[in-house]
A and B are shown apart, each in its own frame.
Chain A
Amino acid sequence: MFRQSIQRVALRSQSTVTQTAPRALSNAHIGKLEARWESLSKQDQTTLIDELKARQVLPWSELTPAEKKAAYYISFGEWGPRQPLYLPGERAKVFWGTVGGCLAGIALFAGIRSLAPGPEPVSMNREWQEASDEYLKSKNANPFTGYSQVQ
């Protein structure tokens, strides 16, 4: 009976189905995970996490570099809540967008001004403004910061 059980154990150790120590995951399976992790389905992600978990039970020196990177990326990589606020290139995009917006605004203002028809209002000439000053002086207007209407 003892012999039989030994045989059974030997058979099990040779079978490929019930291997206790999982094999190394292939590079195609876990390589370049950064590019495609978030597009994987929830089920695939769970499977991958479980496979890596099973591999991490082994001595860590037996893990392949791809497995280490994949495990690190899943735990602490820049995805989900760890995604950086600005992806590379986005800061420049925001800056130049703002500058472009300001320039467009200035151009729009100048354009509309250049389309303004007819003469300036009467109050915009020098004589009118000086007369305004005279009047304000007679009323003792604003002695603190001045009252000059001349532009």
Chain B
Amino acid sequence: MLASTLRASLRARAIPSVSRFAGFRAVRNYSDHHLETFEEFTARFEKDFQEAPDLFEVQRLLNNAFAYDLVPAPAVIEQALLACRRVNDYPTAVRTFEALKYKVENKEQYAAYLEELKDIRKELGIDLKEELYPEA
């Protein structure tokens, strides 16, 4: 009888101890943060270029946009060109295309970007560096 009461008391003690440890789970997910997708990147930079107040900010954003391991989407470039137009700085617009030329992988991609951005380039009257300095 003594043995059975002991066993019962042990069992009674064992149950709450299990439930106490059930509360500990992995809470330190330091590496668990959201990675920005290409679409989110595009949306972020489009918005930033639209809100850029001065030439410094436009050039800073261009530096940042071209610093990633991706070529910014034509929509981003378009907003960048419009931002250049808003702050009235022609050379930065030319420079944007120059940066694009260095950022893409091959000449076909550059040609595709130029084709895509043909309208806005014509509308704003932006020349390429190749057109300004044909010999170099």
Contact = CB atoms under 8 A, between A and B. Distances in A.
Nearest to B87: A56
B125 A56 contact: no
B132 A72 contact: yes
B126 interface: yes
Given A68-B132, A69-B132, A72-B132, A63 B90 contact: yes
Chief secondary structure at chain A's binding surface: helix
B47 interface: no
Contact of B124 (A57, A60, A65, A76): A60
Given A56-B88, A60-B93, A61-B125, 7 more contacts: A56-B89, A59-B125, A60-B125, A69-B132, A75-B95, A76-B95, A76-B98
A12 interface: no
A73 to B, nearest CB: 8
A57 to B, nearest CB: 5
B133 A60 contact: no
A60 B127 CA distance: 9
Interface of A: 53, 56-57, 59-63, 65, 68-69, 71-72, 74-76
A57 B126 CA distance: 14
Contacts of A61: 124-125
A61 B127 CA distance: 9
Chief secondary structure at chain B's binding surface: helix
B117 interface: no
B91 interface: yes
A74 B124 contact: no
Contacts of A74: 91
A60 B90 contact: yes
B44 interface: no
Nearest to B89: A56
A62 B92 CA distance: 17
A57 B98 CA distance: 22
B126 A60 contact: yes
A53 B91 contact: no
Nearest to A63: B90
A65 B92 CA distance: 16
B125 A76 contact: no
Contacts of A53: 88
Given A65-B132, A68-B132, A72-B132, A57 B91 contact: no
